[in-house]
Amino acid sequence: MKPMKNRKKNLYELLNVSQDARTNEIEDAFRRAVELYSGDSLAAYSLYPRVERERLFESITAAYETLKDPVKKSEYDLMMKQDHSEIISRYSGEDSGIAELMGLAQEAGSFRTVNLKRTLAAMGNSEPTASEQYRILYTRLKKLKEKDSLKTFAITSSVKGEGKTVTSLNLAYVIAEEFKKKCVILECDLRNPEISSNYLEGRGDEPGLVSVLKEEAELRDALIRISPGDNLYCLPARHRAANSSELLSQTAMEEIIRVLKEDFEYVIIDCPPIAPLADMNIISRLADGMILVIRAGKTPRDIVRSAVNSIKEGRFLGAVLNGCLDTFKGYYY
C-alpha cells in the first residue's frame, strides 16, 4: 500500500457529507462545522490559530452556500463529472488551506463501506459534553504526535469492561470526521473482538486481521471504510483467535502496522485488557504509546497500579477516566 499524492477536498468532503446527502443532512453538517470552528470549542482553540480557524470556516461556508442551493448544487455535480480537478480549484481555491495531509493507497470508494450498528457518543449532538472531551483528548495526542512523532496509540484497560473499545471508537471518529484526519482503528483484541461483533454491520464471514495474519487474505481486502465520511477506516479482527499471542507476535503484524503508519495520520489500536493476557506485551512493543482506560468506582487502585507498571517503560502516555459522573451518562473523560 503506497500513499497517493495530496489533493484538495471537494465541497462534499469539506462538509463531510455524501454526494446524495439531503438538504437536512447538509444543514446538520454545516451546523456541526460552525460549532467546531467558530464556537467555544476548547479543542478547536487549542489546535488552530485564529487566522487558520477563520480560513477553514470560510471554505466550509462557501461549500455550504453552494450545496444548499439546488441550482448551484446541480451545476456543481455536473462539473464534477466533467473535470474534478478544475472544480476543486474553482470552488475551493488553491489557498483554502484544506489539503489532504495523508492519502490512502486507493480512493475511498475502492474499499468496502460498512455501517455502524450503534450510534457513538461523539456523533451528532446527543452527547455534547462527551464530544468535547474526546476533542480535548485528541488535542493532547496531537501535541504528543508533533513533539515526539507519535502515530500509533494503543488503548487498553486493566481488566475487561472499563470502556476501552468505546474510547477507541469515539476518539477515532472525532479524529477522522471532525478534524478531517485519515484515521484507522486496528482491532487487536483477538480473543474478544467487540468492534467486529457489536459495532460493525455485515455477515461476519468477511476477511479481517485474523485472516491476514493467517495468510488467508490480503490487507487491502480486509481494510474497510466506516460510513458516513471518508476519513475513518478500520481493520477489524472479524474472527476470534485462541492463539492470539502467536498471531500477534508474527513479523506480519509488524509489517501491517508499518503499512498503516505510512498510509494514515493516526492509528488507534483497540487492545485486549492488560491483566489476564500476554498479548499486551507484544502490542506495547509495536505501538508508539499506550493509553489506559479506567472505570471510575470499579477498578481497584492496586490493579490499576499493576497495569501501569506492566506497560513497557516510556510507552505509557496517560489514563482516561471513564464513567466518573452520572450527569454525563458514563462518557465523561
**pLDDT tens-place string over residues 73-94:** 888 888 776 654 443 444 444 3
Strand order across the 232-235 sheet = 112-115, 224-227, 232-235, 183-187, 266-270, 152-157, 289-295, 316-322
| Cα–Cα distance for residue pair 147/156, rounded to 1 Å | 23
11-92 fold: Helix Hairpins (1.10.287)
**pLDDT for residue 127 is more than 90:** no
The whole-number pLDDT of residue 111 equals 76
- Determine if the pTM surpasses 0.75: no
Mean local confidence (pLDDT), 42-49: 54
Which pLDDT band, with edges at 50, 70 and 90, does 50 fall under?
A: low
pLDDT > 70 in the chain, percent: 76
Calculate the average pLDDT of the chain: 77
**pLDDT for residue 233 is more than 90:** yes
**pLDDT for residue 236 is more than 90:** yes
Mean local confidence (pLDDT), 45-65: 72
CATH class of domain segment(s) 108-328:
alpha beta
Mean local confidence (pLDDT), 105-127: 73
Which pLDDT band, with edges at 50, 70 and 90, does 132 fall under?
A: confident
pLDDT tens across 249-276, in order? 888 888 898 889 888 999 999 988 886 5
**pLDDT for residue 169 is more than 50:** yes
pLDDT tens across 271-281, in order? 888 865 556 66
Q: Which residues of 177-204 are buried (b: 16+ CB within 10 A; e: fewer)?
A: bbbbbbbbbbbbbbbebbbbeebbeeee
The whole-number pLDDT of residue 49 equals 60
**pLDDT for residue 171 is more than 80:** yes
> Three-state SS for 265?
coil
**pLDDT for residue 3 is more than 50:** no
- The answer to whether 137 and 320 are in contact (CB under 8 A) is yes
Which pLDDT band, with edges at 50, 70 and 90, does 8 fall under?
A: low
Indicate where the chain has its CATH 3.40.50.300 domain(s). Answer: 108-328
Identity of the residue numbered 16: N
- The answer to whether 251 and 169 are in contact (CB under 8 A) is no
Q: Which residues have CB under 8 Å from 289's CB, separation 6+? A: 144, 150, 152, 153, 154, 315, 316, 317
**pLDDT for residue 328 is more than 50:** no
Mean local confidence (pLDDT), 238-252: 85
Say if strands 266-270 and 152-157 run parallel, antiparallel, or are unpaired: parallel
The whole-number pLDDT of residue 73 equals 85
